[in-house]
């Protein structure tokens, strides 16, 4: 009898677990927009309404964070600089560290408050310190949007507070690109991976608003956002086994939904893709003839450390080298002279441009005359 009961239980367990797994796979989460992008190549893997104009709430601060990092890395400001709180910064509502007018705080602590706790007063103060005024910093944000080639973002403030503005928007794709740019600055990891910290000698506690920081393997950041207009938003970055992804979720109905959808997106990326460095054979790159130029041949160059995103089950990578037979001077540095096509399983997966690394002038009468004099 015991043996029969054990057998029945075993059969029930076999059927129960697959059904549970299927139910988990079918779970759908409602959000207005989302995207999964590979951070190494910028390739979009999955997206839903990724170019739709939406309020990004505090995910707006991605652009603020990028400009702050660029100001630090360029030496325009230093982490040790002390900044006095202004009336404009102190007047900001929402998440804050309750700065008082005239209170001095280091750039390091202010930036910590922005990245970890999404402090609006700290973000505004840093923007003023960099650009001279709050409005000038917002102008910098919109100018940076243009230099990144983004078409679907416009900011009216540096915080994402959207109760008194009408033309403040971004989209999942643009925010993913901004996050990709941020992650080029390794300093961000000093702040974005911190779960709990403090200011004012421990008197002010900072809790990371990204609840996946200590719960998701490989999580490296980056920014949450919530308003009644925007819903629940999250831009998350994660790295495992030398491959990195960024996901953006905008307009989720609940806080749990934004975190759950983020997990699903990142899990999909890590489960299905790998990153490999391209191994271009420099000996196969041929020189290109230059017609009517001051030099007769030029050898194309390519950017080093090129990477390619591949499905995990993909076959060996192969390369096809293509060159122009001849180009006519003048040639500018950066002009395309050929390309390397990258294939996997007979499918072209990438193209690497081969470019001139120098300017080549056209032959002039003066050039010919000088050559003749030198040969006498």
- Sequential DSSP letters for 27-66: -----SEEEEEETTT--EEEEESTT--B--GGGGHHHHHH
How big is the chain, counted in residues? 376
The neighbour count for residue 369, using CB atoms within 10 Å, is 10
Question: 336 forms bridges with which residues in the sheet?
Answer: 355
φ/ψ of 314, rounded to 5, equals -75, 155
| pLDDT for the residue numbered 2 | 45
- Catalytic residue (choose from 32, 61, 112, 223): 61
Indicate which residue of 64, 118, 192, 356 is catalytic: 118
What pLDDT is stored for residue 374 in this prediction? 67
Beta-strand ranges (E) seen in 189-230 are: 196-199, 204-207, 219-227
Provide the pLDDT for residue 16: 46
Peptide bond into 23 cis (omega under 30): no
- 36, 44 Cβ separation under 8 angstroms: yes
Pair 298, 67: CB distance under 8 Å: no
Q: Please report the pLDDT score of residue 371 as a whole number.
A: 60
Q: Is the dihedral of CA 36, 40, 43, 49 positive or negative?
A: positive
Contact 247, 223 (CB under 8 A): no
Find the angle CA(165)-CA(170)-CA(171) to the nearest 5 degrees: 145
Distances (CA, A) of 122 to 89, 103, 109, 127: 7, 11, 9, 9
- Per 3-state DSSP, what percentage of the chain is helix, strand, and coil (rounded to 5)? 35, 30, 35
Residuewise pLDDT in 10s, the chain (376 residues) = 444 544 444 444 444 444 444 444 446 788 999 999 999 999 999 999 999 999 999 999 999 999 999 999 999 999 999 999 999 999 999 999 999 999 999 999 999 999 999 999 999 999 999 999 999 999 999 999 999 999 999 999 999 999 888 999 999 999 999 999 999 999 999 999 999 999 999 999 999 999 999 999 999 999 999 999 999 999 999 999 999 999 999 999 999 999 999 999 999 999 999 998 888 888 888 889 998 888 888 989 887 778 889 999 888 889 999 989 899 889 999 999 999 999 988 888 888 899 998 998 887 656 565 666 666 6
User: Which pLDDT value is given to residue 368?
Assistant: 60
H helix intervals, the chain: 2-26, 61-73, 87-90, 107-117, 120-131, 134-147, 172-182, 189-192, 255-272, 365-375
pLDDT of residue 243: 97
Domains recognised in the chain with CATH numbers: 28-274 (3.40.710.10), 282-365 (2.60.410.10)
CA-CA distances (angstroms) from residue 88 to 85, 135, 204?
8, 11, 21
Which entry of 58, 153, 170, 350 is annotated as an active-site residue?
A: 58
How far apart (Å, rounded) are the C-alpha atoms in residues 338 and 289? 12
Nearest CA to 36 out of 219, 225, 236 is that of 236
Question: What is the DSSP secondary-structure string of 251-277?
Answer: EESSHHHHHHHHHHHHHHHHHHEEEEE
CB 132 within 8 A of CB 10: no
Active site includes 58? Answer: yes
Q: Please say whether the beta carbons of 44 and 245 come within 8 A.
A: no
User: What are the backbone angles phi and psi of residue 201, rounded to the nearest 5°?
Assistant: 55, 40
Integer distance in angstroms from the first to the last C-alpha of the chain? 112
Cβ atoms of 331 and 298 closer than 8 Å:
yes
Task: For residue 118, indicate whether it is catalytic.
Answer: yes
């Amino acid at each position: 009898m015991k043996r029969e009961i054990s057998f029945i239980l075993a059969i029930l367990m076999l059927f129960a677990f697959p059904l549970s797994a299927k139910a988990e796979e079918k779970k759908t989460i409602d959000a207005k927009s989302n995207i999964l992008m590979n951070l190494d190549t910028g390739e979009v893997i999955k997206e839903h309404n990724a170019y739709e104009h939406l309020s990004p709430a505090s995910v707006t601060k991605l652009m603020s964070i990028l400009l702050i990092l660029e100001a630090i890395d360029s030496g325009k400001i230093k982490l040790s600089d002390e900044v006095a709180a202004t009336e404009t910064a102190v007047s900001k509502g929402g998440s804050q560290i309750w700065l008082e007018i005239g209170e001095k705080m280091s750039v390091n602590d202010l930036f910590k408050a922005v990245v970890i706790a999404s402090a609006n007063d700290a973000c505004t103060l840093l923007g003023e310190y960099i650009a001279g005024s709050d409005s000038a910093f917002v102008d910098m944000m919109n100018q940076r949007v243009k230099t990144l080639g983004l078409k679907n973002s416009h900011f009216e403030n540096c915080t994402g507070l959207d109760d008194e503005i009408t033309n403040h928007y971004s989209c999942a794709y643009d925010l993913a690109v901004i996050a990709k740019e941020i992650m080029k600055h390794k300093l961000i990891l000093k702040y974005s991976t911190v779960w709990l910290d403090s200011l004012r000698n421990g008197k002010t506690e900072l809790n990371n608003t990204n609840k996946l920081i200590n719960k998701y393997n490989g999580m490296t950041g980056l920014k949450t956002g919530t308003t009644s207009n925007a819903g629940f938003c999250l831009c998350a970055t994660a790295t495992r086994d030398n491959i990195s992804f960024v996901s953006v979720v905008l307009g989720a109905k609940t806080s749990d939904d934004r975190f759950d959808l983020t997990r699903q997106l990142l899990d999909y990326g890590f489960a299905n893709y790998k990153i490999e460095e391209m191994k271009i054979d420099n000996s196969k790159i041929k020189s290109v003839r230059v017609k009517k130029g001051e030099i007769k041949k030029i050898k194309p160059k390519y950017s080093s450390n090129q990477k390619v995103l591949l499905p995990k089950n993909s076959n060996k990578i192969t390369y096809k080298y293509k060159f122009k037979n001849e180009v006519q001077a003048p040639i500018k540095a950066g002009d395309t002279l050929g390309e390397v096509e990258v294939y996997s399983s007979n499918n072209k997966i990438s193209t690497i441009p081969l470019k001139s690394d120098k300017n080549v002038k056209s032959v002039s009468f003066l050039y010919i005359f000088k050559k003749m004099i030198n040969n006498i």
